[in-house]
Amino acid sequence: MCRAVTIFWYRHPVKPPYAAIFLAGPAMGQGGGPGFHEQDRDLNLVLGGNGKDLSSGFLIRTGPAGSKGSELWKGTERLAAAPAFGLPAGGGVTLHHRWLWLQAIVEEKRIRFYYEGRLALDAALKEPIPPGSLGFWTERGSVQVARITLAE
């Protein structure tokens, strides 16, 4: 599915309902010019995963605002999208020392995702979310995580 994926797994399975709150930001990467610059890449979550890969569970993907924004996926099916809610475009100074709050509220058949305290996604699901692993991941390996809070 993805190349160069880095995943931080919470090793204990969680069962809905729960809330997962992340304070994270894009890490510095080598840009086109001299030195290192923050990149507007992706900050993502996996809910109800298998603790090994991204082939199971629900994926919340957050990319640049305006193009991808925030999306909810199950396998190859996109369940919800909010293009306006995502990383500030441009990288560099717009992301320098920028920490972002990402919050997922997981109920048996519903996922709500808040980006910076604003509701970005609200999806009613056909099937219940199974107990499983919670993960924070990036497709391009450029992320800093300051805090993760799990409330069950």
Q: pLDDT tens digits, residue range 81-106?
A: 999 998 876 655 555 667 889 999 99
Name the amino acid, one letter, at 92.
G
Sign of the CA dihedral running 49, 56, 81, 5: positive
Q: Under 8 Å CB-to-CB from 81, ≥6 apart: which residues?
A: 69, 70, 71, 72, 121
**Which pLDDT score, from 0 to 100, does residue 115 have?**
94
Residue 143 zone, left/alpha/beta (φ > 0; ψ -120 to 50; rest): beta
Q: Under 8 Å CB-to-CB from 119, ≥6 apart: which residues?
A: 112, 113
pTM: 0.85
